[in-house]
Amino acid sequence: MKIRIGYEIVYDCPQPTPMLLTLGVHYTRVSDVIIPDYLMTEPSIPINAYRDTFGNWCSRIVAPKGRLRLFADGLVRDSGVPDRLISQAKQTPVEYLPDETLVFLLGSRYCETDRMTEIAWQLFENAPTGWARVQAICDYVNRHIEFGYQHARRTKTAWEAYQDRTGVCRDFAHLAITFCRCMNIPARYCTGYLGDMGMPPPYGPMDFAGWFEAYLDGQWYTFDARNNIPRIGRVLIARGRDAADVPISCTFGPNTLQSFMVRTEEVAE
């Protein structure tokens, strides 16, 4: 299948404002790109690209005073196969985990393992290890949090989502990641496109999506506590410890977000 992806984000800045942007398709999907989702700006301004410490493609700009439109329109090829479900995947003991996975066991900005460890063990100590334990965590988080865009708050942490029992996809991911780390399972945050392909209507407004990956049996596997079923058409943008590592935009000055639109839809062959 082919998936059209893109966005249009409009800012108004009262003065020239530096920005970091994480909006491009992840390098692991480069072989699937048919039409690149190049970042374009109106008015035209210089763009400098770099890789962050997690290997994500990022861009640096200085937004001019006034209105700035950021937009992209790309096309990617996708297998159309749902997320993998490997129920026999085992949990790797901490002492045998690869060095590069250890950072995803630690607490981070939105994932307060120190506050959640006792709760996690009370909830999941008796769950089977490995895939079944991660799935038990997803099941719990999916039941525990009520989804709603009105509950979005950029400062909300996993602890606060647990207490409030409300949130958006990133809050589901943060709470599940935190529980996984508390149970000694490396987990990392993912952001990207996830359309409604294969799902029955009605469809909500499109947005960038948040999910997570857990390290089991020597591999990273996709989990989605918000939807909690295998989905098709995920297009990864970036990975990190939590949403603080992979913001769509990070601005260094005052600004007003005037409009925000995300597109991800199947295109007929």
Domain ranges for the chain:
2-79+248-267, 94-245
Residue 258's pLDDT is what?
A: 96
- Contact indicator for 249, 96 with CB cutoff of 8 Å: no
CATH topology of domain 2-79+248-267: Immunoglobulin-like (2.60.40)
pTM of the model: 0.95
Q: Give the Cα separation of 100 and 242 in Å (integer).
A: 16
Contacts of 160 (CB under 8 A, 6+ apart): none
**Fold: same for 2-79+248-267 and 94-245:** no
Dist. CA 38–CA 72, nearest whole Å: 6
pLDDT of residue 202: 75
Query: So what's the pLDDT on residue 206?
Result: 85
The predicted structure's pLDDT at residue 269: 74
CATH numeric code, 94-245: 3.10.620.30
pLDDT score recorded for residue 198: 85
**Quick one: pLDDT at residue 98?**
98
What pLDDT, on a 0 to 100 scale, did the predictor assign at position 251? 96
CA-based nearest residue to 264, from 78, 79, 22: 78
- CB–CB of 6/263 below 8 Å? yes
Distance CA 85, CA 31 (A): 24
Q: What is the pLDDT along the chain (269 residues), one digit of tens a residue?
A: 999 999 999 999 999 999 999 999 999 999 999 999 999 999 999 999 999 999 999 999 999 999 999 999 999 999 999 999 999 999 999 999 999 999 999 999 999 999 999 999 999 999 999 999 999 999 999 999 999 888 889 899 999 999 999 999 999 999 999 999 999 999 999 999 999 988 887 777 788 999 999 999 999 999 999 999 999 999 999 999 999 999 999 999 999 999 999 999 999 87
